[in-house]
Structure 1
Amino acid sequence: MPLAVYILGLGIFTQGTSEFMLSGLLPGMADLGVSIPDAGLLISAFAIGMVVGAPLLAIATMRWPRRRALVALQIVFIGAHVLGALAPGYWVLFATRIVGALCYAGFWGVAVATGVGLVPENARSRAVAIIAGGLTLATIVGVPAGTVLSQLAGWRSVFWAVAVLTAVSLACSLFTVRADAETSEQPRNVAAELRAMARPQLWLSFAITSSAFGSVIVTFSYLAPVLTGVTGLPEGWVPAELALFGLGGLAGLTIGGRTAQAHPIRTLIFGLGTLVVASALLAVTTGNPIITTVLVFVLGVGGFVTNPALQSRVFAIAPGAPTLVGAANTSAFNIGNTLAPMLGGMAISAGFGFASVAWVGAAIGAVGLLATVWAGYLQHRRQAGAHHPTTGGSKRTELPSRTAG
């Protein structure tokens, strides 16, 4: 695997830490003069920036060499975090979160497209798993470390730390993502990529992406109050439980990276099925600390085993749109990241309790599972038709899809 793929994963690690770090910083942000709920809107601002930024930045940088786009996006991301660290008030910080999210979204799309282009077709899922693994490491290492740093030196120090680490990633990108790495790639064109995007199977895949990520993130978003308020664990156990979820995610990514290329549909069915069952079990067993702890790990596995298949499959469905499909898939992830916690909050506000978010996760996962089964049926029917001669006596047969189940 090229070193550049690991460096792209490092970039996702540093910026992914920023995506989730505010969950551990909110209590210390009182100097901004806003309540914790208002400070929490900074998280929503980042998610919305990701949804909007991925396709916009993909189009804006499409004609740029990959390395130039990666470097430029990281430079602006660093600037946003330096300004955030120096922010005199809430609204300046709010604006920097949106700018940072836009750059991170653009970086995601370009990084995945770059990684896929650097390896042979049969290694794409592994490359995607390594790049996406940066986000898993962010949840295991980056976010807890940021929380500890904020307790020792204040929340602004975490913004400085993210800026410095991203600068390291930027420097590594300059040396490892070679300027000639994409000389064999066809020239990219917005109109051509938009035409390649007009495939129903592709948009069905985006819907599966939103459902798969939404199914796990709705429970993860409220995991701390579930563990302390329902399971009865002391607050000191919460970081360990979150780390256990991250370890499950790392295991899931490892498994998915090895199975997604040859069996994407089966990998998705396994992951979504695991999420549905684990979420439903969690909803009815949250009072048992041992079972809950096991299910937290299983949720991490089910939530991330699908990631390589979700990321690599869209490139196989629409190979003519390598930039836009990666960006649109990033938006799909963040639509799930935005809407699913809102649905979970509505369930809690309706009086169903914190454990109800697991039922919401099971329901969203079931929708994604049905969509995946439908996608598998359509794919099987297309492949079966490709093995038969066309009408009119022609002897020509089309090749089967590259996305075998």
Structure 2
Amino acid sequence: MPLPFAVYALGLAVFAQGTSEFMLSGLVSSIAADLNVSLSAAGLLTSSFAVGMVIGAPLMALFSRSWPRRRALLLFLAVFVAVHIVGALTPSYGVLLATRFVGALANAGFWAVALAAAVSMVPDRLRGRATAVVVGGVTIACVVGVPAGAVLGERWGWRAAFWAVALVSLPAFVAIVRTVPGGAPRAYGAPAPVRKELRAQTELRAQTELQARNELQVPRVRDELRLLTGPRLRPTLLTMALVQGATFCTFSYLEPLLTRTTGLGTAWVPAALALFGAGAFLGVTVAGRYADRRPTAFITYGMTALTLGWTTLALTAAGPLAALALIPLLGMLAFGTGTALITRVLGLAPDAPTLSGAFTTSAFNLGATVGPWAGGLALDAGFGYRAPVWVSALLMGLALLTANYVRSRAGSDGTAGSTGSTGSTIPA
């Protein structure tokens, strides 16, 4: 069964937003020179975005919880485009810093609503595929968007990359207007025969009325918070943050690892980043197709393989062939496991439609914030350029311990967990 086109429209928007989130890694020097600020100050633009994502996901989801999802998605995307236009035009570092934070708030709100909207438009058995398409926008951004932003910045200045993100967002905006439910239904394709027209209109009217009733039955925030912060979801969210922390810890310091430990030239760095992104895209695709069948085994095997993988990279980083072979494999495992964890949270929290996507987004970006920070501490302590990779292995070990705690807790309570859409058992 094919996915609705609306799901792919959400993935396109996430591609533009993911490009914006990660593209500054190749633009920091030019921004610092153009705005006459230090490199560390330019680096705060990335930190500002990450903090905005962590804080913004639950706040923006609460802000828009009573709105139709299409209206919320369009508002967040419009704000995202607007702040990139302002950022491309401003000569002020302070204004640019503010636009990064506001853009992250809009991005976080869009992510939270998009994840919930994607799974709501498909049957339970297709939740994993729908989630994979949305998350896949980030992986494609790593493969295509981030290198393209670096090329644009090198040729026409960093502002060109901001303009490009705004332009890429516009087709997604139009597609969401036309495909995501939330307004008056529109008919597409050839007109129906006249004798069927009244019946079709009646069915559409009934669907619209049912949707309106469902939108009025918004769960109480207190009930959603109780579910998401309870013993069933909290360890899963923590596991997700640890997995993402491990991923972005090494990803953030891949350049010094490759150039100063592996011995590769700087020209290899974009290629290595593209390899990581290609592996991530493959991992998301595999997770979308197979994670729903045996979610517990998929996540457990993925986390175990990641722990071994990061350890192996730390031990063999001096060998160019080993490093280049492991990078796409680790990208595949990291984003495949991460996608399966996102699907699990959304599946375990059907009664928290407003905040489940928000908490998932916050956990994802909390890991993306803490991981690089922990890797930076290891570097500053003088442990060498392999240190962030060892930190990634340590974080994955903690993730495995958390997952084992979840399973043992479920067993001690005499419960097997909750059943996924395919009948597989998911530890609570």
Normalised-by-shorter TM-score class: over 0.9
**Partner residue in 2 for 1:131:** 134
1:8-64 per-residue CA deviation (whole Å, 9 max, x = no partner) reads: 000100011000010011121111011112101100000000000000000000000
Q: Equivalents in 1 of 2:17, 2:398: separation in Å?
A: 30
Secondary structure in structure 2 of the residue aligned to 1:220 = helix
Alignment match of 2:80 (pick from 73, 77, 83):
77
Residues 381/5 of structure 1: CA separation in 2 closer, same or farther (3 Å cut): farther
Alignment match of 2:218 (pick from 163, 188, 196):
188
**Partner residue in 2 for 1:66:** 69
**Partner residue in 1 for 2:276:** 245
Q: Equivalents in 1 of 2:63, 2:382: separation in Å?
A: 45
1:379 to partner: Cα distance = 4.4
Match for 1:48: what amino acid? V
The RMSD of aligned alpha carbons is 1.8
1:299 to partner: Cα distance = 1.1
Secondary structure in structure 2 of the residue aligned to 1:63 = coil
| Structure-to-structure mapping, 1:3-402, within 5 angstroms | 3-29=5-31, 30-179=33-182, 183=211, 185=214, 187-189=217-219, 190-379=221-410, 384=415, 400=419
Residues 145/192 of structure 1: CA separation in 2 closer, same or farther (3 Å cut): same
Match for 1:346: what amino acid? L
Q: Which moved more, 1:97-106 or 1:259-268?
A: 259-268
Q: Equivalents in 1 of 2:119, 2:262: separation in Å?
A: 42
Say whether the 8 Å CA contact 1:245–1:300 is kept in structure 2.
yes
Say whether the 8 Å CA contact 1:50–1:330 is kept in structure 2.
yes
Say whether the 8 Å CA contact 1:256–1:309 is kept in structure 2.
yes
Q: Equivalents in 2 of 1:72, 1:384: separation in Å?
A: 42
Secondary structure in structure 2 of the residue aligned to 1:323 = coil
Percent identity over the alignment is 45
In structure 1, the gaps of 5 or more residues are 387-398
Match for 1:110: what amino acid? V
1:373 to partner: Cα distance = 2.4
1:404 aligns with 2:425: yes
1:150-177 per-residue CA deviation (whole Å, 9 max, x = no partner) reads: 1111101111111111122111110111
**Partner residue in 2 for 1:393:** none
Say whether the 8 Å CA contact 1:132–1:307 is kept in structure 2.
no
**Partner residue in 2 for 1:389:** none
Q: Equivalents in 1 of 2:403, 2:89: separation in Å?
A: 46
Q: Equivalents in 2 of 1:146, 1:131: separation in Å?
A: 21
Say whether the 8 Å CA contact 2:115–2:131 is kept in structure 1.
yes
Match for 2:294: what amino acid? H
Say whether the 8 Å CA contact 1:274–1:298 is kept in structure 2.
no
1:317 to partner: Cα distance = 1.7
1:382 to partner: Cα distance = 6.1
Q: Equivalents in 2 of 1:382, 1:250: separation in Å?
A: 38
Q: Which runs of 4+ in 1 moved over 3 A?
A: 376-386, 399-403
Q: Equivalents in 2 of 1:215, 1:349: separation in Å?
A: 18
1:384 to partner: Cα distance = 4.9
Residues 383/135 of structure 1: CA separation in 2 closer, same or farther (3 Å cut): farther
Q: Equivalents in 1 of 2:145, 2:8: separation in Å?
A: 16
1:377 to partner: Cα distance = 3.7
Residues 113/382 of structure 1: CA separation in 2 closer, same or farther (3 Å cut): farther
Q: Equivalents in 1 of 2:415, 2:59: separation in Å?
A: 37
Q: Equivalents in 1 of 2:386, 2:111: separation in Å?
A: 32
**Alignment length (residue pairs):** 393
Say whether the 8 Å CA contact 1:383–1:401 is kept in structure 2.
no
1:91-138 per-residue CA deviation (whole Å, 9 max, x = no partner) reads: 110000000000000100000000010000111011000110000000
Residues 259/45 of structure 1: CA separation in 2 closer, same or farther (3 Å cut): same
**Partner residue in 2 for 1:394:** none
Secondary structure in structure 1 of the residue aligned to 2:385 = coil
Match for 2:218: what amino acid? R
Match for 1:13: what amino acid? F
Q: Equivalents in 2 of 1:300, 1:318: separation in Å?
A: 27
**Partner residue in 2 for 1:390:** none
Q: Equivalents in 2 of 1:244, 1:379: separation in Å?
A: 38
Q: Equivalents in 1 of 2:279, 2:410: separation in Å?
A: 30
Match for 1:404: what amino acid? T
Q: Equivalents in 2 of 1:299, 1:213: separation in Å?
A: 12
Q: Equivalents in 2 of 1:230, 1:2: separation in Å?
A: 46
Q: Equivalents in 1 of 2:419, 2:19: separation in Å?
A: 40
1:272 to partner: Cα distance = 1.4
